[in-house]
Amino acid sequence: MKDLTRGKVGHNIFIFAVPMLVGNLFQQLYTFVDQIIVGRYLGTEALASVGASFPIIFTLIALIIGIASGGTIVISQFFGAKDFNRLKRAIDTLFIILAGAAVLMTVIGISFAENIFRLIRLPEELLPQAKTYLTIYVSGLVVFFGFNGVTAVLRGMGDSITPLYFLILSTVLNILLDLLFIVKLGWGIEGAAFATIIAQGVAFMTAVFYLNKYHELIRFNIKEFSFDREIFRQSLRIGLPTGFQQTFVSLGMLALMGIVNSFGTNTVAAYTAAGRLDSLAVIPSMVFSHALSTFVGQNIGAGKIHRIQRGFWRTLFMSYSIAIAMTVVVIVFKTPLMGMFTTDEAVIRIGGEYLTIVTSFYLLFTTMFVVNGVMRGAGDTIIPMFITLIALWLVRIPAAVFLSRETIEVFSLTLKGAGLGESGIWWSFPCGWAVGMILSIIYYLTGNWKSKGVIDVTVEPATITR
């Protein structure tokens, strides 16, 4: 556990973020390798089917992950205030929420998989494999929520190193099982899904064993769990806006997937592969934002408001440095990077175009995420929710439709679009980021987020200058 309320601001955030960064890279790595193996050994249709499943999976888990993030902020503030009694109740409440939600989302995912794929106009040739993959994957949501719950609690308490070990275990096991199930045993797309849920299950059970045997404050014992309604209410107040935000973002991704699907299997496969590379490249910005949220949460809990602005600027500088490096690497090596997933020249060309356009605007994304990290850590999630929804639903989705199509049907009217094809979809990303960044900065400058915490504190004078 790390106390982020003392010591050098930039150094603390960096040291806390690095294990999270490595952990997230490993977490993305097994999805990355998973899709490389699927694309190389099972073909373009299988790669596209896996890619089409992820927006649906994200939609199923988005609301719960958002609520859980509220629980994590509550945990970080109780830890910062050294209120260990309420800290324990907050952890128990979080795990109870996740367990119930996992069962509900599994039932929904299995029951409506095919209907959702048809709603987003998935090409018919992809439907059987996509439905199979999604059904198996959502069957493992219990261990997915459990594993991510453990890591979220540890990070909220300032421990970003221990979750890294569990993530490494999960990643290595997932890759080995992919090779066994797909390459050796020939299980097809089912093997990819089984490999993921088995790996997460083993990592979760290992984490539970560790907590029960070695951790000072956390004991994972279902019989002793207690549900605290007041802490649940606080978690909802902070997490529900983020949950709604995540849900509407995921629905936006589904809408975007529907637009991508209309351009055929090659575009879906390219979007899947390039999107995975894109997700890998933006991890540093997202991780530093999450590290900043924990830093802000602990310092607000301790009444040390004066440290937050320094934390913001240092985080922004570190995130910018990495974002610029990522932009250069991805653009220069886009063709060989896409070539890892497929040998299909059309898919490589379309994916390369995606990477060139989207990665050129990473600084917009980075600024938006870091600013929102401050507000999340302070417990202010409502305004960021509206900003995200405006950027997505009022800017990115309409821009994707307008820029990609020759004509647009709106209320029986036929309007003229820009007709850029699939590249118009890629240009909609920076359009949304630009609007989101501007609105986030404006709200940050108002300072209203400073009074949204769950703990009443006496603000400590700004006597520490380092």
Q: Where are the domains of the chain?
A: 9-451
Residues 6+ apart with CB under 8 A from 166: 147, 150, 151, 203, 206, 207, 210
User: What is the reported pLDDT for 3?
Assistant: 65
Q: Is the pLDDT of residue 230 over 80?
A: yes
What is the arithmetic mean of pLDDT over 339-357?
Answer: 93
Among 113-122, 374-383, 429-438, the range with the most confident prediction by mean pLDDT is: 429-438
pLDDT for position 325: 93
pLDDT tens-place string over residues 107-157: 998 998 889 888 888 888 889 999 999 999 999 999 988 888 888 788 777
Cα–Cα distance measured from residue 410 to residue 386, given in angstroms and rounded to the nearest whole number = 25
Residue 334 has pLDDT above 90, yes or no: yes
Average pLDDT value over all residues in the chain: 84
Quick check: 215 pLDDT over 80? no
Residue 206 has pLDDT above 80, yes or no: yes
Percent of the chain with pLDDT over 70: 94
Label residue 394 by pLDDT band (50, 70, 90). Answer: very high
pLDDT above 90: percentage of residues in the chain: 28
Predicted TM-score (pTM) of this structure: 0.72
Give residue 345's pLDDT: 92
pLDDT of residue 1: 57
Within a 13 Å sphere around the CA of 50, how many CA atoms are in the beta-carbon half?
A: 29
Give the Cα separation of 375 and 381 in Å (integer). 7
Whether the Cβ atoms of residue 265 and residue 409 lie closer than 8 Å to each other: no
CA-angle at 332, arms to 283 and 291, nearest 5°: 15
Model confidence at 466: pLDDT above 50:
no
8-12, 177-181, 313-317: the lowest-pLDDT one: 8-12
Better-scored residue on pLDDT, 265 or 464: 265
Compute the distance between CA of residue 316 and CA of residue 24 in angstroms, rounded to an integer.
19
